[in-house]
């Protein structure tokens, strides 16, 4: 299952049934879980760990040194879960400071030329379309979709089930369950179709729509809007997550 042209460091760890294609390069501190498939010309380096059943397409590079000029050496890591797909020329960079980690969860799909910078934290079931870019320290929660050619500023957060429109420039946090688009990106509406497809019931979507109108359409400060939402809307796990996300925002929400 290992092509003779692949270059694999003797101390790299490969799980059972991995398939390593032509001209791949695997560094000393790389660990691959079972059944990972590297098509060809893939580079894995640094202190990088992948779980099971990951598929990596030609010219993807995972685990290489951060591009952050603050890097001063030390051991930094990349940790990737299970069943992820990295398409052609996708890049995942290691963290910047000694002991820190760039993390990617499981069941994610990263299309061609996507970039995951240093110290990014990504959850599960995320889709990044072609040339989507995450700057350093970005947090992406579960079930987020990032449109093609979209770019996310460092330290921003994308809440779960958020959808980012193609070519968007995200410079503030995008709240959970919302759609954002534009340059700079603004929250446009609840991600209604995405929530329906994910099985959210109509009552939950209606409550989130009311919260959206209070938070983004009535001209209130975020603090006052959150107070109104807590007082006027019926509690639910989704609403609680939206409120907690907004309260903890450091960069502010991407408001119109």
Q: What is the pLDDT of residues 61-103, one digit of tens each?
A: 999 999 999 999 999 999 999 999 999 999 999 999 999 999 9
Cβ contacts of 159 within 8 Å, gap of 6 or more: 141, 144, 173, 174, 175, 176, 177, 178, 241, 242, 245
**CATH class of the domain whose range is 7-137:** mainly beta
219-239 residue pLDDT tens:
999 999 999 999 999 999 999
Alpha-carbon torsion (63, 68, 73, 75), positive or negative: negative
pLDDT band at 145 (very low <50, low <70, confident <90, very high): very high
The residues annotated as belonging to the active site are: 118-119, 136
171-205, pLDDT tens digit by residue?
999 999 999 999 999 999 999 999 999 999 999 99
β-pair partners for 139:
121, 157
**pTM score over 0.95:** yes
Pick the CATH number of 196-247 from 1.20.1180.10, 3.90.1150.10, 1.10.20.10, 3.40.50.970: 1.20.1180.10
What local confidence, expressed as pLDDT, does residue 168 receive? Answer: 98
Q: What is the pLDDT of residue 204?
A: 98
Q: Which residue from 184, 142, 183 is spatially nearest to 163, judged by alpha carbons?
A: 142
Residue spans per domain, the chain: 7-137, 196-247
């Amino acid at each position: 299952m290992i092509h003779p042209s692949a270059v694999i460091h003797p101390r790299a760890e490969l799980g059972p049934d991995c398939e390593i294609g032509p001209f791949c390069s695997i560094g000393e501190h790389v660990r691959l879980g079972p059944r990972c498939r590297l098509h060809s010309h893939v580079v894995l380096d640094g202190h990088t760990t992948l779980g099971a059943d990951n598929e990596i397409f030609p010219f993807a590079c995972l685990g290489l040194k951060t591009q952050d000029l603050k890097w001063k050496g030390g051991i930094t890591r990349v940790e990737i879960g299970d069943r992820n797909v990295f398409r052609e020329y996708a890049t995942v960079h290691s963290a910047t400071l000694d002991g820190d980690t760039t993390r990617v969860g499981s069941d994610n799909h990263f299309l061609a030329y996507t970039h995951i910078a240093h110290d990014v934290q990504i959850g599960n079931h995320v889709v990044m379309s072609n040339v989507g870019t995450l700057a350093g320290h970005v947090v992406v929660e579960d079930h987020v979709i990032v449109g093609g050619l979209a770019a996310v500023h460092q330290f921003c957060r994308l809440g779960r089930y958020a959808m980012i429109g193609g070519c968007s420039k995200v410079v503030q946090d995008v709240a959970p369950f919302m759609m954002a688009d534009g340059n700079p990106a603004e929250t446009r509406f609840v991600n209604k179709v995405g929530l329906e497809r994910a099985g959210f019931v109509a009552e939950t979507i209606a409550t989130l729509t009311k919260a959206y109108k209070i938070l983004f359409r009535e001209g209130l400060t975020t603090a006052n809007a959150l107070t109104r939402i807590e007082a006027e809307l019926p509690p639910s796990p989704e609403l609680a997550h939206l409120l907690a996300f907004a309260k903890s925002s450091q960069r502010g929400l991407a408001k119109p």
